[in-house]
Amino acid sequence: MIKQSWVVVCLSSFLLLLLVACSGGANGGASEGAVGPQEIKGATEVVKFDPASLPLSGDPAPGACAASSIVPGAYRCDLEGGVPAEPCFALGGTRLVCEPDLVAGTYDILVSPTGTLPSVAPPSPDRAVAFFVELATELTCAIRTTPEPVIIGGMAALYDCSEPYTYILDGGELTFDKSAPVWRAAVSTLDPATGESSGQNPTDVRRVWIP
């Protein structure tokens, strides 16, 4: 009888240990699979531009600067001779970098404001305008700030691209198709000899920069 009781106790203990081990294994598997929000690889990257990230060189040109009406959170500077530079971004209150190329890590001109630089508040997320774009085709495009319009198929060119006579067309609020993680833009190239366009070519957007 004693031997029988000992066998029952041992068997019960073994079953209990087996149950605990199985439960622990199941819980361990569950904890390994629990993670936070997932990064979507290949999605269009929205980058907040930091003017201090660009290396500076040369002497600044004097210019009268005011808030940009095209890129909220940036400036427009009128240089001597009436030449405009836009968008410009303040480095403190004494210098501005204008018309940056964020893929090349350069800018067009460094400006020293001739008067007190007015305060410009950063735009709210719903008013942030992408002023520089990198496409999946390696083209880069800068927002147009010149008054002369370029109209292609009834649509205005909103960005000048690094390939001559190539533009991102303005589709109003749908300039960029954001219905998927990878945004798309309507890109068109003009033939300068005939004035004909290549039509609207939907192109993936790799990165955009906002103020």
Identify the residue with better confidence: 17 or 77.
77
Identify the residue with better confidence: 39 or 76.
76
Distance CA 5, CA 178 (A): 72
Distance CA 205, CA 140 (A): 10
- Note the pLDDT of residue 19: 40
Q: Give, in order, the Cα–Cα distances in Å from 134 to each of 54, 103, 118.
A: 17, 8, 30
Average pLDDT, the chain: 83
Calculate what percentage of the chain has a pLDDT beyond 70. Answer: 80
Distance CA 131, CA 87 (A): 8
Distance CA 51, CA 111 (A): 13
- Note the pLDDT of residue 64: 96
- Note the pLDDT of residue 82: 80
On the question of pLDDT at 74 being above 50, the answer is yes
Residue 91 CB burial class (10 angstroms; 0-12, 13-18, ≥19): middle
On the question of pLDDT at 1 being above 70, the answer is no
Note the pLDDT tens digit of each residue in 106-148: 999 999 999 999 999 989 988 899 999 999 999 999 999 988 8
- Note the pLDDT of residue 170: 86
- Note the pLDDT of residue 39: 64
Host H or E run for residue 190:
none
On the question of pLDDT at 78 being above 60, the answer is yes
Note the pLDDT tens digit of each residue in 173-210: 558 999 999 999 999 999 989 989 988 899 999 999 99
Calculate what percentage of the chain has a pLDDT beyond 90. Answer: 66
Average pLDDT over residues 35-62: 85
- Band of pLDDT at residue 93, cut at 50, 70 and 90: confident
Average pLDDT over residues 43-63: 95
